[in-house]
Amino acid sequence: MLTLPVAARARAAVADRPAYSPFVLQVDRIRQLSPHFRRVTFTGDDLQFWGVGGHDQRIKILFPLDGGRFGAGLADDGGVDGSATWHERWSALPAQDQNPFRTYTVRGFRAESLELDVDFVDHRDAADRDPAELADPADAAPLGPAGRWLATARPGDRVMVVGPDARSGAEPSGIDWHPGDATHALLAGDETAVPAICAILESLPAGFAATVFLEVPSADDVLPVAVGEQVAVTWLPRRDAPVGARLEQAVRGWLAGQPEHWQPARAAVAQPLPEIDVDHEILWDCADRSEDRGFYAWLAGESAAIRSLRRCLVTEHGIDRKQVAFMGYWRLGRSERQR
């Protein structure tokens, strides 16, 4: 198996190579972490060129079409003409040859063994099922392409993962965790943000202080995560509450009780927020970098819930927008748009 040391990969960087490239990988193993979380570990020789991003590194996973096929030219190294991006090649394909894709976060990467972990949210209704039945596709409700793939995935199955390419000289992208010199951070999200938040927490430097709220479907979905002594994690089982309700209650309670952490990050003047129609627009409001204001917040999850928290932090409490990342990962009742 060919491997390249980091220094050699850096010397091989090509300035005009896209920052994101497709990696053809196969499933190595699958682990059911909880009723609603399933970890898939991918492997493949292509991972020798994976550009480690860390934190909340976003990736795209393209799922195979009937017969396990992928659109012609999608996996071409550097593009058919050496410059086209994967998305340009995907967009040029006939509709029937366009592999469906979804956005995920890297949960873990091990260069020495060429393994990539991705934690999937299992959207099938698992509330009343025995955990031993979770891998049975016959009991699945109607699902999207990712859910259908996850319900039947087995070791050896192939996917195409679009992620950071260590051979590229382009500016890295797909990371929105930019705390700058913050001394305290607030992280809040629902189950779709749990993989990103856990990856961020495990990458924090020693002594970093953070308050974390994670809303998950049930108490059985609380996952282990390694954190420092100054990181406080609160899991919020949703049970029968509306999506985002327990998360907003927890954030509002923290803001009311801990003003000393966030008040230094208040903006000098009022900040009008453009109205976002989350049924037709993507809610994604992230500054490229934060300022040295002592406080930083990172919030992601269901778009309407995050929109409400955005108003809470920015409009009601006056926190500078440059100190907060707001990301609508999904919209209740709607599938992710291919973008």
Q: What local confidence, expressed as pLDDT, does residue 338 receive? A: 54
At 12, list the tokens: 């091989």
C-alpha 52/C-alpha 293 separation (Å) is 28
Predicted local confidence at residue 337, as pLDDT:
61
pLDDT value of residue 301: 97
CATH 3.40.50.80 domain locations along the chain: 184-330
Span 120-126, average pLDDT:
75
| CATH assignment, 20-164 | 2.40.30.10
Q: Which of 20-29, 133-142, 171-180, 273-282 has the highest mean pLDDT?
A: 20-29
- Which helix or strand (DSSP H or E) is residue 202 part of? helix 194-203
For the stretch 143-183, pLDDT in tens is 889 999 999 999 999 999 999 999 988 888 899 999 999 99
pLDDT, the chain, mean = 88
Q: What pTM, to 2 d.p., does this model score?
A: 0.88
> What per-residue confidence (pLDDT) applies to 123?
74
Give span(s): CATH 2.40.30.10, the chain.
20-164
Angle CA(335)–CA(336)–CA(339) in degrees, nearest 5?
Answer: 145
How far is residue 180's CA from residue 256's CA, in Å, rounded to a whole number? Answer: 24
Distances from the Cα of 164 to the Cα of 57, 81, 214, 294, 319, angstroms: 9, 20, 27, 30, 32
Please give the pLDDT value at position 79: 45
Among 115-119, 125-129, 294-298, which stretch is predicted with the lowest mean pLDDT?
A: 125-129
Q: What does the pLDDT look like over 48-101, one tens digit per residue?
A: 999 987 799 999 999 999 999 999 988 875 544 455 789 999 999 999 999 999
Q: Where are the beta strands (DSSP E) in the chain?
A: 20-34, 37-43, 58-62, 101-110, 115-121, 158-164, 184-189, 209-216, 231-237, 284-285, 295-302, 324-330
Query: What's the CATH fold of domain 184-330?
Result: Rossmann fold (3.40.50)
More confident residue, 129 or 303: 303
CB 46 within 8 A of CB 54: no
